[in-house]
Amino acid sequence: MADTSPNPQDLDPNAVHGCASGGSCGCSGGTDDVSEADMDAPMDGNQVMGTYYDGGKIENRSMGGLALTRREFATSMGIVTGAIAAAGCSGDALEVFKQTRLREMTQPQVKEFLARLEREYKAKYNTDITVGATPPAEGVKFAYALDLSRCIGCRRCVHACVKENNQSRPNPEGEHNNPIQWIKVLEMEKEKGINLEEADPYYNPDKVPREGHFYMPVACQQCENPPCTKVCPVQATWKEADGIVVIDYDWCIGCRYCMVACPYGARRFNWAEPHLPQKDINPNTHVLGNRPRSKGVVEKCTWCIQRVRNGRYPACVEICPVGARKFGNLNDPHGEIRAVLENKRVYILKEDLNTQPKFFYFFGV
């Protein structure tokens, strides 16, 4: 629902304008004003036309045999249903129905959306959860490095990640138990080198590292050329300007094409309603990151987008007891990532697939 009127306010991404100029107030205005040309125009970060995100071009695909576009269809349905719902339903329910994708929202719409999410989480979890939407910083391209010579396979990162990112916990009493972990640590034999086919993620000795073994944690590689985003039929996943591949949890239809496309097995699907006890909730969340998800959507590592966009290190970096995990700005010539790339032997997982990961394994010795 990008506002396309040549209002000078709209050209300023920081301008906060009233709801009269957008569709955030619940009226149906805005959507029909979007021309095809505007939809296809690349959204440059500096010339954001009232949109919050500069995630890039969103193709306008028409639906099957219908002459209507998906959005026109949805909007017209929204008007019809909205008229019905206005009588009985609460305002939030109507907003949920009318919600567009995050990348197309204007700033007031995003603000309204985040507030609604916080209300929903408060009602569901009885906890105050803040949902942020810090955008990418200019000139920043995140990258990650992991020292395979140091990692001892202790899985501290896996569990710190679960806590930080509100992943679904095991639910022994419930109907479903679908614990989700974004990091998978593979144990491999030193003699055989990096051999994914014989790698064991279920190792559980008394002490690690085991003699003759090394460990390779695998999570989202935040590819510069991500195969997962290309296959999404609804373009609910994309690469942000700072290189983090994110998912619009409210636009994901759960088809899991992206999970098939990902060569690293980095994406996870919520087969059941996530089990997130109130005491375990991390209340500091990002709309594209660790906010509680719902059943039927895909989720993945975002390098703790809620932390790194505010200058902090990802939770896995902070917890690692051997300091094997490095994180920083690839564009910073004096940062640790560049130091690794310039001075160490670097290994890129499945480099031959041309996914161009920004996750670099290296050998510190």
Partner 1 sequence: MQLRTRINLSWLWLVLPLLSCQSAPGKAAIDGPDPLHSEPLKQAPAEAGLPPNPIALAMHSSETFAVAKPPISEDMWPCTTCHDGNDVNRNRRVLKEEHTNIQLHHDEEHRWCLDCHDATNRDYLHLASGVTITFDESYKLCGQCHGDKYRDWRMGVHGKRTGQWNGEKQYLLCVHCHSPHEPHFKPLKPEAPPARPTSIR
Nearest distance in Å: CB 323, partner 1: 3
Q: Does 178 bind partner 1 (CB under 8 A)?
A: yes
Residue 286 interacting with partner 1 (CB under 8 A)? no
CA 264 to chain CA centroid, Å, is 16
| 184 φ/ψ angles, rounded to the nearest 5 degrees | -120, 125
The contact mask relative to partner 1 for 183-212 (x = CB under 8 A, - = no) is -x----------------xxxxxxxxx---
CA–CA distance, 30 with 292 (Å, rounded to integer): 29
Site stretch for partner 1 (CB under 8 A), options 45-53, 82-90, 175-183, 229-237: 175-183
Largest Cα span, the chain: 70
Rounded to a whole number of angstroms, the distance between the first and last alpha carbons of the chain is: 53
Query: Of 36 and 175, which has the nearer Cβ to partner 1?
Result: 175
Whichever of 1 and 143 has its CB closer to partner 1, that residue is: 143
**3-class secondary structure, 233:** coil
Structural contact between residues 161 and 182, judged by C-beta atoms closer than 8 angstroms: yes
Closest to partner 1 by CB, 206 or 352: 206
DSSP H stretches of helix in 7-165:
8-11, 36-40, 70-88, 91-98, 107-125, 156-164
Q: Which stretch binds partner 1 (CB under 8 A): 8-16, 32-40, 121-129, 329-337?
A: 329-337
Question: Min. distance of Cβ 269 from partner 1 in angstroms?
Answer: 12
| Cα(137)–Cα(54) distance, integer angstroms | 11
Binds partner 1 (CB under 8 A): choice among 91, 179, 233, 265: 179
Residue the block writes with tokens 């966009």: 309
- Residue placing its CB nearer to partner 1 in the complex, 139 or 233: 139
Footprint of partner 1 on residues 206-245 (CB under 8 A)?
206-209
In whole angstroms, what separates CA 167 from the centre of its chain?
13
Whether the Cβ atoms of residue 196 and residue 298 lie closer than 8 Å to each other: no
Q: Rounded to whole angstroms, how far apart are CA atoms 36 and 301?
A: 33
The answer to whether 343 and 335 have CB atoms below 8 angstroms apart is no
Query: And the tokens for 363?
Result: 């050998």
Minimum CB–partner distance for residue 187 and partner 1 (Å): 10
What tokens were used for 141?
């391209």
**Which residue, 221 or 329, is less far from partner 1 as judged by CB?**
329
Segment 52-71, which members bind partner 1 (CB under 8 A)? none
* φ, ψ for residue 298, nearest 5 deg: -90, 145
Q: Decide if 206 contacts 172 (C-beta within 8 A).
A: no
Of positions 5, 47, 195, 343, contacts partner 1 by CB under 8 A: 343
Residues in Cβ contact with 348 at an 8 Å cutoff, skipping those fewer than 6 apart: 357, 360, 361
CB 363 to partner 1: min, Å: 11
Check residue 259 for interaction with partner 1 (CB under 8 A).
no
Q: Give the shortest CB-276-to-partner 1 separation in angstroms.
A: 16
Give the residue, chosen from 85, 231, 344, 348, that forms a contact with partner 1 under the rule CB under 8 A.
344
Binding mask 132-161 for partner 1 (x = CB under 8 A): --------x------x----xxxxx-xx--
- Taking residues 288 to 327 in sequence order and writing x for each that binds partner 1 by CB under 8 A, - otherwise, the string is --------------------x--xxx----x-xxxx--xx
Binding site for partner 1 (CB under 8 A): 140, 147, 152-156, 158-159, 170, 175-179, 181, 184, 201-209, 308, 311-313, 318, 320-323, 326-329, 332, 334-336, 339-340, 342-344, 364
